[in-house]
Amino acid sequence: MALAWVLTSVGVLVATVVVIWRWTRRGLNLPPGPRRWPVVGNLLQLSSLPHKDLAAYSAAYGPLAGRRFASRPRTLAAVHLAYGCGDVALAPLGPKWKRMRRICMEHLLTTRRLDAFAGHRAAEARHLVAEVRRRAAAGEAVNLREVLAAFSMNNSGAEEEALEFMEITHEMFRLLGMIYLGDYLPAWRWVDPFGCERKMREVERRIDDFHSRIIDQHKKKAREMSLQGAAPSCGEMDFVDVLLSLPGEDGKDHLDDVEIKALIQRSSATPGPPEGAGGARCRRGEGQASGGTDLAGLSYLRCVVRETFRMHPAGPFLIPHESTRPTKLLNYDVPAGTRVFINTYALGRNPRLWEDVDEFLPERHLPTAADGGRVEISHGPDFKILPFSAGKRKCPGAPLGWSSSSWRWPPSSSASTGSPPRASPGGHRHDGGLRDDDAQG
């Protein structure tokens, strides 16, 4: 009797949900797609590689291009991994996002500030070349993931810290790029069969501990300099120093630590091309590393970076967008609150946009007279690649991402004098750092 009552209750509940679901969508001309189930929609039709599934759907049903998708959804990954959606890239539209973006654009990512770091980047490039040559001379295998992580950390003497940072950042991007069922089916969070939310909490703790150590080190250095009556110059101040010097809200003398952590997380995690994505075929004289003044004139280098972003984006999807109001796209109705995923993996491998999509061909990006002789790293007017997104929510760290990426290639190329290592038992990876499990939900 009790079982019959439970089954009846469940049946009534499901029927009610179906009726409400259909009622709320009556009269709407929704975009085409595979047949949806009530409540779960198409979630159960996605495999462990959703970017490939959605690319297939796009080929079958056609693309959609739109606007009014400037806000961000409040996903569990953003809550756990971006200080409660406090990261400038993941914060929803509003005063907080505007303030965070203003800090980035006016204090962290100005041309003057980035130029002030040129000396540090040059020193790190020389250190990278020297380290690769040392290992090659000793007959050691060179792990590009390790040496480029140390280079990205901008600290020659902290390779272990650099590797820790790289590991945390890679895991953070993997979790942020997942389509997590718990965001759509709250009951899934109680089960969490793959331990996704547990991993988010673990990475959240590691990120916070790492950032706390960085901030404490800078506060200690600032106190020591203050006792000596010294003040750092613009060229000596890094991002953390700048943030510690800024006033906070509501009359506070300084930004609080959570705000600083959210800002340094985004500035330090600006996407660049992965280290396994093909080789840069640009060389200078033996033993020389390109300098900052060389980079602007290296059109082929810019082609290499652009082609790398096409084939191996930092993640298969851009950060999800969310419609702030009902709108129409290509005569289809898109309700308010709709989450929009932009598939950069599919965009870079679309045969309607690119020839030989699986070939690494930097020459395809060589400029023509119509381009004004300049190779555009970010999106152009055709939006054929979107390494840093576009529009109002474009990554404010795009100049830093390009600068860091371009500085990686020439030193690596000029230092590549060793022999390739023997094939490892696991074989050779051509996925540019994106494993098959990187997109699992």
For the residues of 321-339, what is the DSSP string, one character each?
EE-SS-EEETTEEE-TT-E
300-342 pLDDT per residue, tens: 888 888 898 898 887 788 877 777 788 777 788 888 878 777 8
Please report, as a single letter, which amino acid is at residue 137. A
- Please report the pLDDT score of residue 336 as a whole number: 80
Six-digit token string for 331: 């005569």
Q: Provide the β-strand partners of residue 321.
A: 340
- Please report the pLDDT score of residue 295 as a whole number: 58
CA distance linking residue 67 with residue 75, whole number of Å: 21
Strands 321-322 and 327-329: unpaired
Please report, as a single letter, which amino acid is at residue 10. V
CATH class of 50-414: mainly alpha
* Residues shown for the chain: 441
Distance from first CA to last CA of the chain, Å, rounded?
38
- Please report the pLDDT score of residue 357 as a whole number: 92
Q: With contact defined as beta carbons under 8 Å apart, do 24 and 338 qualify? A: no
- Please report the pLDDT score of residue 285 as a whole number: 40
What percent of the chain is predicted at pLDDT more than 90?
6
E strand or H helix at 220:
helix 196-227
Mean pLDDT of 348-365: 91
Longest dimension (CA), the chain: 86
CA angle, residues 215, 221, 224, in degrees to nearest 5: 140
195-218 pLDDT per residue, tens: 888 899 999 999 999 999 989 999
pTM of the model: 0.63
Q: Which of 217-221, 284-288, 294-298, 367-371 has the lowest mean pLDDT?
A: 284-288
DSSP-derived 3-state class of residue 37: strand
- Tell whether the model's pLDDT for residue 97 goes beyond 80: yes
290-301 pLDDT per residue, tens: 444 455 567 888
Tell whether the torsion through CA atoms of 29, 34, 35 and 41 is positive or negative: negative
Q: Which sequence spans correspond to the domains of the chain? A: 50-414
CA-wise closest residue to 318 among 392, 393, 254: 393
114-172 pLDDT per residue, tens: 777 777 777 777 877 888 888 888 988 887 766 766 666 555 445 677 677 778 887 88
The DSSP code for 44 is G
335-349 pLDDT per residue, tens: 887 877 788 888 889
- Please report the pLDDT score of residue 86 as a whole number: 77
Mean pLDDT of the chain: 71
- Please report the pLDDT score of residue 363 as a whole number: 92
- Please report the pLDDT score of residue 440 as a whole number: 38
Q: Which of 97-101, 109-113, 421-425 has the lowest mean pLDDT?
A: 421-425
CA distance linking residue 101 with residue 243, whole number of Å: 13
- Please report the pLDDT score of residue 323 as a whole number: 79
5-39 pLDDT per residue, tens: 545 554 545 554 444 444 455 567 766 666 666 65
E strand or H helix at 8:
helix 2-24
What percent of the chain is predicted at pLDDT more than 70?
61
CA 60 remoteness from chain centre: 28
Q: Comparing 383 with 361, which gets the higher pLDDT? A: 361
- Tell whether the model's pLDDT for residue 103 goes beyond 60: yes
| pLDDT-based confidence at residue 427 (cuts at 50, 70, 90) | very low
DSSP-derived 3-state class of residue 41: strand
Q: Is 234 annotated as a binding residue?
A: no
How far CA 336 is from CA of 138, 254, 319, 327, in Å, comes to 61, 37, 18, 7
CA distance linking residue 235 with residue 238, whole number of Å: 8
Phi and psi angles of residue 339, each rounded to the nearest 5 degrees, phi first: -85, 135
33-56 pLDDT per residue, tens: 666 666 566 666 666 677 677 677
- Please report the pLDDT score of residue 25 as a whole number: 52
CA distance linking residue 344 with residue 281, whole number of Å: 25
Q: With contact defined as beta carbons under 8 Å apart, do 42 and 33 qualify? A: yes
| pLDDT-based confidence at residue 234 (cuts at 50, 70, 90) | low
Mean pLDDT of 400-418: 56
Buried b (16+ CB within 10 A) or exposed e, 218-235: beeebeeeeeeeeeeeee
